[in-house]
Structure 1
Amino acid sequence: MNTPTLVAGALWLVTLWRLPSVRHSHKQRSLALTFAALAAAMTLEVPAVRDAVNANAGVTGLPPLLKHLLGVGSAALLLDFVIAVVRPHGLAPRLRLAAIGITLPLMVVLYMLANWMPGGRVMIGAGKQAVPVLYSAVFTLYIGIAMIVATWLFLSGVRHSRTLPGKAGLGFLGLGTLLGSLYALQRVAFVTVRLTTGSGYPELENQISTVLKQLAILSIALGACLPPLSVAVEHIRAWTALKRLQPLWHRLTGAVPSVVLSTSIPKRRVRFRLDRCVIEIEDACLALREYVSAEVHQRARTLAIQKGVQEQEVEVVAEASWLRLAAASARTGSQLEGVEYPSLGVTGRSRVGELAWLRAVARSYTTSPVVAEFIRQEESLASLPAGGPERGSSHDN
């Protein structure tokens, strides 16, 4: 399988992936159509497709014209996408519409008038006619200006993006359009050399053009795929965090079911379910503080140290210990008054730190032997009535 076939196949896969986003917004529609145009253009470079078009179109040399028209269209659509992302208020819409409206028909006219060579390729500078040069100039000028503007916008947008995947996506898109700019510049350079010296380097020109074009397309495809992939990664992370927090949620809300909100959330909205799970766990912790004293928290910390719990895990084990004791006590309804309550370890943490803390507490709550031993010791002291087996809440996140 040759390289054009691989590139075209990859672009069609990206196009199919992005196709549902056509109905979402203007910028998503522009991006999806960009890949559709690029995929169609690269398909025309596949030898079997090119030969089939030449054999059935009735016009020799049609694939290069179609490929160039699709290339100009994809450049216009990509520029429209980056403007929608970086400059939502717009950027010279009338000028851009006039430019594409003039470029496409002018290319068709010049191509029809050009000195076509055997095989259908327009050989720049062939003979002494100026039409092929004008055709290439129109095509290259539009591609070059569009890619330079898009590069500037993409790279300027990197500074304002708030997430690492967003910065990486804009960076790869900017790299792709920069390579597109270099593609246009090298075409100008080879034409200039041919017109001024009469010497041509068709093989070198073709090699450089192909490499720059394919690298530009692949970089643009990668840049466009990174943000959606990051969304999928975040979805998986949220789902994993939710599954790890649910055992703790069941036990705490089973002790104080009043903290559970009555509104249900669809299963597919994992991020909202995780946020609600965290909120209800924290509300349950606040409610359970009234069933134990700060001295109990201190005893739990002391036992964790005595049992050789790692320093960074001491506070986690201590919090899991008093929460488990408080959950057992809450079922008897014996709240404490006039005492100092334990402080919550989750307080004052960032969003990431908050999730990491609660996941660690959830793990210690159900699996730590130190937590289990602390509960046995407290029950043996008979300072609190022994709690029955913890029951799960009838609610679900």
Structure 2
Amino acid sequence: MSTSTIVAGVLWLVALWRLPSIRHSHKQRSLALTLVALAAAMTFEVPQVKGTVDAAVGIDVRLPYLLKHLLGVTSAAYLLDFVIAVVRPQGLARRPRLVAAGVTLPLMLTFYAFANWMPGGPVRLGEGPGALFSILYMAVFTLYIGIAMVVATWLFLGGVRHSRTLLGKAGLGLLGLGTLLGSVYALQRIVFVTVQLSTGTDYPDLENLLSTTLKQTAILSIALGVCLPPLSVAVEYVGAWRTLRRLRPLWVQLTESAPYVVLATSVRRRRIPFRLERCVIEIEDACLALREYVSVDTYTRARKFVRQKAVDVQYADAVVEACWLRTAVQQARNRERLRGVEYPPLGVTGRDRASELSWLRAVARAYLSSPIVSEFARQEQSSISHEQGDSERISSHDN
């Protein structure tokens, strides 16, 4: 099996995988069409396909080369459209881009029809009156590919620093590498044509080697770069599912004592990120409601108690939060809200998204499994029961 066959096969697998997303958005449609055009272009480099087409229309027509180049221009146009949608959603030179692609394709067809091509090997510049059209064809094709790849490289590599995830950065980096190699591919075509025109000598074997290597490496880099962002989404989905599993038991404990914070609208089970967002909001609302059952004095005692137990400084604040929350849940079952007192501060306040989730996971772990939290809650419950007993005895004595 030839390298071109493997590259075409990989591209078709990626293209078919992304094809269903063509209806989702303009960005996804551009990406899907980029991959389909690339896969079709590389298909015409497969020896069996090329041989079949040449046998059908004649080898002198050189139709596989023309179709490959037309599809290459089409894929470059869609790739540029995709990267602009990702990095510059406000748009970038839309009308000039449409005009450039709309002019390039007809010019290529016209110049190719009148060109005089030398037989054998890659597309070679011919001799005689048709040689000018050969030069014009190669100039138009190379110029469009070169400019499109340079602009795409600039946008892809510039967008790396704005990506939120490591896999997203890697994906944009690989896409940028692929378009950079595409730029080098266009440059080496210009160099070889210039050498041939100025010196009358050519190096077909070297040109074919460099052209094929750069082209296939660029395409595989782009295909791999396309695969990483969806993989990043899958990783985020799994991470959200794991976080939801860890926070769910805390949610159950808190919302049993503050059921009015739970939203009535149901959510489908597979919408994990949305369910996690809702879970976090309801936990935080429950914390706001439950802190009205304890005063800041409970929070102060919890800090002192945790300090006495020599809890690791990294987890001490989360354990303190779990201590007063457990106490508040107990008090919510037995007494009215406290009025006219200062309430405990919420540890989640003022955090970014990553820190917020990390904090809630730590609080959930301490709330559900820390013996220190259980001991503090028992101690507080015993103290409150003792105070209530003393109050009842005083009341009975007064009567």
Fold match, TM over 0.5? Answer: yes
Displacement of 1:382 after TM fit?
Answer: 5.3
Structure 1's unaligned 5+ residue stretches are 387-397
* Aligned partner of 1:229 among 228, 231, 245: 231
Query: Is 1:173 aligned to 2:180, yes or no?
Result: no
- C-alpha separation between the residues in 1 aligned to 2:140 and 2:376? 80
Q: Which deviates more from structure 2 when the two are superposed, residues 250-259 or residues 140-149?
A: 140-149
Deviation per CA, 1:32-57: give whole Å up to 9, x if none. 11110001111222222222333344
One-letter identity of the residue aligned with 1:25: S
Q: How many residue pairs are counted as aligned between the two chains?
A: 385
Q: How does 1:8-157 map to 2 (within 5 A)?
A: 8-58=8-58, 60=60, 61-88=62-89, 90-119=91-120, 121-125=122-126, 130=131, 131-157=133-159
Partner of 2:334: helix, strand, or coil?
coil
Closer/same/farther in 2, CA of residues 223 and 326 from structure 1, 3 Å limit: same
1:46–1:385 CA distance, 2 compared to 1 (3 A): farther
Native 8 Å contact 2:117 2:126 kept in 1: no
TM-score, normalised by the number of residues in structure 1: 0.86
In the TM superposition, what whole-angstrom CA distance separates every residue of 1:81-126 from its partner, at most 9, and x where no partner exists? 3344445555444443343333323323433444445557422356
Instruction: Tell me how far apart the structure 2 counterparts of residues 316 and 53 of structure 1 sit (CA, whole Å).
Output: 70
Take 2:303 and 2:91, find their aligned partners in 1: how far apart are those partners? 59
Percent of paired sites with the same residue:
67
32 and 333 in structure 1: CA distance in 2 versus 1, 3 angstrom threshold: same
Unaligned runs of 5+ in 2: 389-399
User: Taking structure 1 as reference, are residues 220 and 235 closer, same or farther at Cα in structure 2, changes over 3 Å only?
Assistant: same
Closer, same or farther in 2 for the Cα pair 1:275/1:83, shift >3 Å?
closer
Deviations 1:160-189 (A, max 9, x none): x36355555444333322221211111110
Q: In the alignment, is the contact (CA less than 8 A) between 2:294 and 2:324 conserved in 1? A: yes
1:337/1:26 CA distance change after superposition, 3 Å: closer
1:191 Cα deviation (Å)?
A: 1.1
Q: Map of 1:1-397 to 2, 5 A cutoff?
A: 1-58=1-58, 60=60, 61-88=62-89, 90-119=91-120, 121-125=122-126, 130=131, 131-158=133-160, 161=162, 163-164=164-165, 168-381=170-383, 383=385
Residues 121 and 204 of structure 2 are in contact (CA less than 8 Å); yes or no, is this contact kept in structure 1?
no
Secondary structure of 2:270's aligned partner? coil
Check whether the contact 2:323–2:377 (CA below 8 A) recurs between aligned residues.
yes
Aligned pair in 2 of structure 1 residues 336, 59: CA closer, same or farther (>3 Å)? same
- TM-score (norm: length of structure 2): 0.86
Greater CA deviation, 180-189 or 289-298? 289-298
CA distance in 1, matches of 2:26, 2:370: 53
SS in 1 for 2:385: coil
Judge conservation of contact 2:122–2:204 (CA < 8 Å) in 1: no
**Alpha carbons of structure 1 residues 96 and 280: separation in structure 2 relative to 1, 3 Å:** closer
Within 2, Cα distance between the matches of 1:384 and 1:72?
A: 83
Kindly state the Cα deviation for residue 58 of structure 1 after the two structures are TM-superposed: 4.7
- Distance in 2 (CA, whole Å) between partners of 1:341 and 1:137 is 75
Does the CA contact (< 8 Å) of 2:116 and 2:126 recur in 1?
no
Deviates most, 104-113 or 83-92: 83-92
How far apart are 1:28 and its partner, in Å? 2.3
CA distance in 1, matches of 2:119, 2:318: 77
- What are the Cα deviations for residues 124-167 of structure 1, in whole angstroms up to 9, with x where unaligned? 356785143333222212212222333344445556x3635555
Distance 1:206 1:384, change over 3 A: farther
Q: Structure 1 residue 250: deviation in Å?
A: 0.2
Deviation of 1:251 (Å)? 0.4
Instruction: Give secondary structure in 2 for the equivalent of 1:331.
Output: helix
